[in-house]
Amino acid sequence: MLQEVSRREQIDLVLLRRYRENDDLRAREELAQRCMPLVKSLARKYAGRGEDIEDLVQAGTIGLVKAIDRYDLDAGHRFVSYAVPNITGEIRRHFRDHTWAVHVPRSMQELDAKIQATTRTVMADTGREPTDDDLAEELGATVHDIRDARSAGKAYRALSMDAPAGEARELADTHGSIDPGFARVEAAVTVQDAMGALNDRERDVLRMRFDEELLQREIAEQIGVSQMQVSRIIRAAVDRMADHVVVGDEPAPLAA
């Protein structure tokens, strides 16, 4: 798995260099096609909110193209990690620009407006809020119509997707879920990056232990050390990978 992720990342970088250094538009298009599963995965997170999934994918694709155009080859960032916020940013911008409120039939809008006006009048005259029965009698409508109009009015005055939702979150963050497939890809990319902090023997030991699922005794026999030494190699390698990830974008020095 780690080798597969590494090859994928290398191919992405090759395509990026061909596009940025040689103005190779075919490389740009190929990279965009390779990243479309990621765009669709992120778009599905925002599905079910009144917008067609194809529109969300199109918005996400715009973010992907912007990421390709803006990516700094010398910055040391993984392209996938750089692309994700650009893609989700465009999807959220689509909601902000095109779906401030859902469509409500005009008849419901008009009845809701009458309900609001009548409610204010009754409260000013009596000091209490009218019931649905009161409003139905006053407006010559059924209680069912009153309740439908109230619900439609709330939908018509929908909050922006960027509206605060508490705990420093936006409303968009409280809906949907992250595609588990994307989480696995991100985890694999992170592991592959952290493997760069290890020397060849440590990488071989981790590969045998976790990819090939060999026992520590079997690994010890293959590399000619004791089982205790294998355990120490694994612990040291995992600690070094963790330190590398915590450091962030500044690469940790390669082990000797």
Residue 150 shares a structural domain with residue 227: no
Residue 95 shares a structural domain with residue 112: no
Say yes or no to pLDDT of 189 above 70: no
Residue 65 shares a structural domain with residue 110: no
Does residue 50 lie within any of the structural domains? Answer: yes
Which residue among 55, 74, 100 closes a domain?
100
Q: Which of 82, 72, 102, 94 is nearest to 35 (CA)?
A: 82
Does residue 180 lie within any of the structural domains? Answer: no
Residue 86 shares a structural domain with residue 119: no
At residue 94, the pLDDT reads 82
Does residue 188 lie within any of the structural domains? Answer: no
Say yes or no to pLDDT of 201 above 50: yes
Residue 126 shares a structural domain with residue 142: yes
Say yes or no to pLDDT of 248 above 70: no
Residue 132 shares a structural domain with residue 93: no
Number of structural domains the chain divides into: 3
Does residue 165 lie within any of the structural domains? Answer: no
Does residue 149 lie within any of the structural domains? Answer: yes
Residue 111 shares a structural domain with residue 146: yes
Return the CATH number at 211: 1.10.10
How many angstroms separate the most distant Cα atoms in the chain?
93
Checking 168-175 for CB contacts under 8 A at 24+ apart, the result is 170/92, 172/46, 172/92, 172/95, 175/46, 175/48, 175/49
At residue 6, the pLDDT reads 61
Which residues, at least 6 apart from 217, have a Cβ–Cβ distance to it below 8 Å?
227
Task: Provide the residue count of the chain.
Answer: 256
Residue 228 shares a structural domain with residue 202: yes
Residue 10 near residue 196 (C-beta atoms within 8 A): no
Range of the domain at 130: 106-156
Residue 142 shares a structural domain with residue 201: no
162 or 9, greater pLDDT:
9
Does residue 186 lie within any of the structural domains? Answer: no
Kindly report, residue by residue over 203-228, the tens digit of the pLDDT: 889 888 888 888 888 999 989 999 89
Residue 65 shares a structural domain with residue 133: no
Q: What percent of the chain has pLDDT over 90?
A: 13
200 or 194, greater pLDDT:
200
Q: How far apart, in whole angstroms, are the C-alpha atoms of residue 170 and residue 225?
A: 54
Return the CATH number at 140: 1.10.10.10
Does residue 189 lie within any of the structural domains? Answer: no
Residue 93 shares a structural domain with residue 134: no
